[in-house]
Structure 1
């Protein structure tokens, strides 16, 4: 279905269940289909499952106000409005990569968010120094904020994102090509300019449960940075490391889903 939020038409998949609600938020230049394995798992367990395409991504429309919307607070407000439209007043968030940064924004300032699980998301200070602390420097990392992708960029970014060579005939290749380049451009620039919550402070102070399920071979994230941070309520007191890359939930769905299921049982 499509739901109009702040002038934007968001494509969203919704499964209504008797259990708690779970919002899944995808990453930069990705789409809701990246959560195929989690969608089925959560639906079988009876959860209400909400999986949108972010503005400028997948089957959603491009943002009508790109500079404002393509930021962690902008995306968070759009998703808050979406959940209100669906009449869901309490929910858990699963955020991957960019989705984890949006998740931290929501979790730290919205009472409706009960808990947060992040993957491929190092909590950072929103500054150039903070990005350097949390992310590995590489040519493919530089693509995260590039407005216009060449075919070579699509292949390089998609392969690093998925942890395997990108099939150029796949839904994910089409999704990367379709993504509004302004979404990458403004997301990175807004983050570097400090538009959003200080994530280091948020994870140190927020009392709500947080889980980290992280691929140990992530091509983007500095694992040691994630390990050394101070957390107020980190589940199991440590990040869970899987033998996977950046998209651990896609690359190792059975292992990821087991940990996700245990965490949701803990927070419910």
Structure 2
């Protein structure tokens, strides 16, 4: 990502940094997960940079964006994040938008499907549409030590590496240590208060109920999940969303990171 392709949008809750290649093409919007940044999608941006108008954002409290200037208890929830993105998309009059959301970014993408009429489709990576109405979180997710790792307010460098590794972000033949280092830096930069508020909002099931949102517009949704994801109960997805779920055998909690080239075919299906 080039610095001269990054911009600031002044939302009512703070300045949001985003990458935008400014092409006159359909929009592909990337939304990262908790505590990281837009740089986590560098490989997708590199591979698709001539195919779409690519926009990749840093949520408030993340990356090069500001921390929320006020109303933190709301802004740092899935609903708050989706409100800021809706405001941004409205400001650029975005239409026919494809959204790729990873982990918490997938939850935000589901809310955008409800809130912004210009969404064409969403791809949610390592995110399960739970029902807040049925309170079925524990049927959809495994709550183990991996889940608890992501809710600390402050991390050392080694703790950040360990947390990202368990989340699937590691150096490989495809991803150099330098690419991982950028994600580590973003993880350490992420606002600690934001981290606690965001995770609590997910556990308290605040906002629109994802399962019902997806069921209402399932023709616009594709769920991508790793067979080795330590957090997601695949039986739940197979029971409720088998028709729109793609399971990747050799992937964990970051399908886009483990399978960057396989993901491209889904992103090119217009």
Band the TM-score falls in, shorter-chain normalisation: 0.7 to 0.9
Residues 1:52 and 2:57 are matched in the alignment? yes
Who is 1:256 aligned against? Answer: 263
Are the equivalent residues in 2 in contact too, given 1:31–1:54 (CA < 8 A)? yes
Report the RMSD for the aligned CA atoms in angstroms: 2.3
Aligned-partner Cα distance in 2 for 1:43–1:150: 34
| Distance (whole Å) between structure 2 residues aligned to residue 207 and residue 229 of structure 1 | 11
Provide the rounded CA distance (Å) in 2 between the counterparts of 1:175 and 1:83. 24
| Contact map agreement 2:16 2:58 (CA 8 A) in 1 | yes
Given the alignment of the two structures, is residue 103 of structure 1 paired with residue 109 of structure 2, yes or no? Answer: yes
Give distance in 1, aligned partners of 2:8 and 2:241. 39
Q: In the alignment, is the contact (CA less than 8 A) between 1:27 and 1:97 conserved in 2?
A: yes
| Cα deviation, residue 7, structure 1 | 3.4
For residue 172 of structure 1, the aligned residue among 168, 183, 203 is: 183
Q: Shift in Å at residue 156 of structure 1?
A: 2.2
Counterpart secondary structure, 2:49: helix
1:213 and 2:224 matched: yes
TM-fit CA distance, 1:206: 2.1
Contact 1:140–1:156, Cα closer than 8 Å, also in 2: no
Partner of 2:8: 2
The residue matched to 2:122 in structure 1 has which SS? strand
Question: Residue 159 of structure 1 contacts residue 165 of structure 1 at CA under 8 Å; is this kept in 2?
Answer: no
Q: 2: distance between equivalents of 1:58 and 1:77?
A: 18
Match of 2:167 in 1: 161
Q: Which runs of 5+ in 1 are unaligned?
A: 232-236
SS at match of 1:95: strand
Name the CA shift for 1:148/1:71 in 2 (closer, same or farther; >3 Å): same
Give the equivalent residue in structure 1 for 2:43.
37
| Equivalenced residues, count | 257
Which residue pairs with 2:149 in the alignment? 143
2:206 to 182, 192, 195: 195
Q: Secondary structure at the match of 1:148?
A: coil
Mapped contact 1:115–1:210 kept (Cα < 8 A): yes
Alignment correspondent of 2:77: 71
Within 5 Å, which residues of 2 pair with 1:109-120?
A: 109-120=115-126
Q: What is the Cα deviation at residue 207 of structure 1?
A: 5.3
Give the ranges of 4+ consecutive aligned residues of structure 1 lying more than 4 Å apart after TM superposition. Answer: 165-169
Equivalents in 1 of 2:208, 2:198: separation in Å? 14
CA distance in 2, matches of 1:127, 1:149: 34
